């Protein structure tokens, strides 16, 4: 029986980190002991702390201090004596030391190469496309697909959601890091083709100034609002009518699952994740990547058609229940870890 898991998470504040918090909470509820190595001073550390001991340091740099920290990390892992050491994101896999534990990497996006993980016992990806991608790069080891599950609704929240009348064409929400791959520039341009709708952008990142400038250049300041990064996005999602996901490359699309859990319909690009579980016109509306007029038209159509919004949201919720439930995902992880441990013991 798997009783102890050590996690190495060097991420900051994206969708992977939100799922990391949900999964570790699920393991905690299942009675599994956990410890964590994380980047210092992350906003989500208070949420993580009750689940196990947290070691805060940066290990990925190649300098004497980081090498000393890495030696300390290996000692901490050996002291904890986990059944499983789980790395989050490809570069972190090289931090896992050799030992009797099962060594796994969890991937939620497409790694640039597989040089980081030659000694792993298995790779776990949240979509089949990621497995196809690493096979194409030459990975011949074990690889398994276990998807994500969305957060449970919270009964209370300290979030300060703006209180304002909704636009006639509906309120659209989009969530994520302000980086090029997320396609927020396309979504902002799409709003010019949905003149009766408003947009809430939840997130932050290096392109925020550029996105704000684009909003001003297009004359959309009164309809496009930047709400910053939010630790609890659910109250904001619940205050909206449509979720838009304009990504140019999206392995899964956690925000879609979160929107379905909140009862929202979705407009998304034909990126990898949505193409895996989305059916155009049935459980979401799909548009081509970087097609701002098409995305704007889809938003405008949904904003003007409450019956269509309700139908897409209902079908999305059904897809969520059938394929992405918390109970099923936790059980898949625990079963896989147990199988890997048994296989390793026989070698």
Residue 221 has pLDDT above 90, yes or no: yes
Arithmetic mean of pLDDT, 324-343: 94
Asked whether residue 317 falls in the same domain as residue 330, the answer is no
Q: How many domains does the chain have?
A: 2
% pLDDT > 70, the chain: 98
Q: Does residue 328 carry a pLDDT above 70?
A: yes
Mean pLDDT of the chain: 93
Q: Is the pLDDT of residue 247 over 80?
A: yes
Instruction: Give the model's confidence band at 151: pLDDT under 50 very low, under 70 low, under 90 confident, else very high.
Output: confident
> In percent, how much of the chain has pLDDT > 90?
79
Mean pLDDT across 181-207: 98
Structural domain contains residue 186? yes
- Place 307 in a pLDDT band, splitting at 50, 70 and 90: very high
Structural domain including 289 reads 171-323
Looking at the predicted structure, is the pLDDT value of residue 117 above 90?
Answer: no
- Say yes or no to pLDDT of 155 above 70: no
Q: Average pLDDT of 270-296?
A: 97
Average pLDDT (163-186) is 95
Q: Is 80 exceeded by the pLDDT of residue 158?
A: no
> Is there a single domain that holds both residue 338 and residue 306?
no
Residue 257 lies in a domain: yes
- Determine the average pLDDT of the residues in 284-291: 99
Q: Tell me: do 210 and 242 sit in the same domain.
A: yes
User: For residue 95, what pLDDT is reported?
Assistant: 93
Give residues with Cβ within 8 angstroms of 218, minimum separation 6: 188, 189, 191, 192
pLDDT over threshold 90, residue 118: no
Same structural domain, 305 and 331: no
Tens digits of per-residue pLDDT, 31-82? Answer: 999 999 999 999 999 999 999 999 998 877 777 787 888 899 999 999 999 9
Query: Which CATH number do you get for residue 34?
Result: 3.40.50.2000
Taking residues 227-250, report their average pLDDT: 94
Core vs surface per residue 12-43: b (16+ CB within 10 A) or e: ebbbbbbbbbbbbbbbeeeebbbbbbbbeebe
- Strands 102-107 and 84-88 come out as parallel
Same domain assignment for residues 119 and 184: no
Q: What is the pLDDT of residue 224?
A: 98
């Amino acid at each position: 029986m798997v009783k102890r898991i050590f996690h190495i998470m060097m991420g900051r504040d994206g969708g992977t980190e939100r799922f990391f918090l949900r999964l570790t909470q699920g393991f905690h509820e299942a009675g599994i002991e956990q410890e964590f190595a994380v980047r210092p001073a992350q906003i989500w550390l208070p949420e993580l702390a009750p689940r196990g001991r947290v070691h805060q340091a940066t290990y990925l740099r190649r300098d004497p201090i980081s090498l000393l920290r890495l030696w300390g990390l290996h000692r901490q892992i050996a002291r904890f004596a986990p059944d499983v050491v789980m790395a989050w994101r490809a570069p972190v896999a090289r931090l896992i030391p050799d030992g009797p534990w099962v060594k796994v990497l969890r991937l939620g996006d497409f790694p640039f190469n597989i040089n980081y993980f030659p000694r792993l016992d298995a790779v776990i990806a949240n979509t089949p496309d990621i497995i196809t991608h690493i096979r194409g790069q030459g990975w011949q080891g074990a690889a398994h697909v276990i998807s994500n599950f969305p957060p449970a609704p919270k009964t209370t929240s300290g979030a300060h959601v703006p209180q304002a009348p909704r636009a006639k064409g509906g309120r659209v929400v989009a969530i994520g890091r302000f980086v090029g791959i997320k396609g927020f520039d396309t979504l902002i341009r799409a709003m010019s083709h949905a003149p009766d709708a408003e947009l809430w952008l939840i997130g932050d990142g290096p392109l925020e100034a550029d996105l704000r400038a684009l909003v001003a250049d297009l004359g959309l300041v009164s309809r496009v609002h930047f709400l910053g990064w939010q630790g609890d996005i659910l109250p904001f999602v619940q205050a909206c009518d449509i979720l838009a996901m304009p990504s140019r490359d999206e392995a899964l699309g956690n925000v879609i699952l979160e929107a379905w859990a909140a009862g929202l319909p979705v407009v998304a690009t034909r990126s990898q994740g949505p193409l895996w579980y989305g059916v155009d016109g049935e459980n979401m509306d799909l548009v081509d990547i970087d097609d701002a007029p098409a995305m704007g038209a889809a938003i405008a159509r949904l904003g003007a058609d409450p019956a269509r919004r309700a139908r897409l949201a209902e079908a999305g919720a059904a897809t969520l229940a059938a394929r992405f439930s918390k109970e099923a995902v936790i059980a898949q992880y625990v079963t896989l870890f147990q199988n890997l441990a048994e296989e390793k013991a026989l070698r």
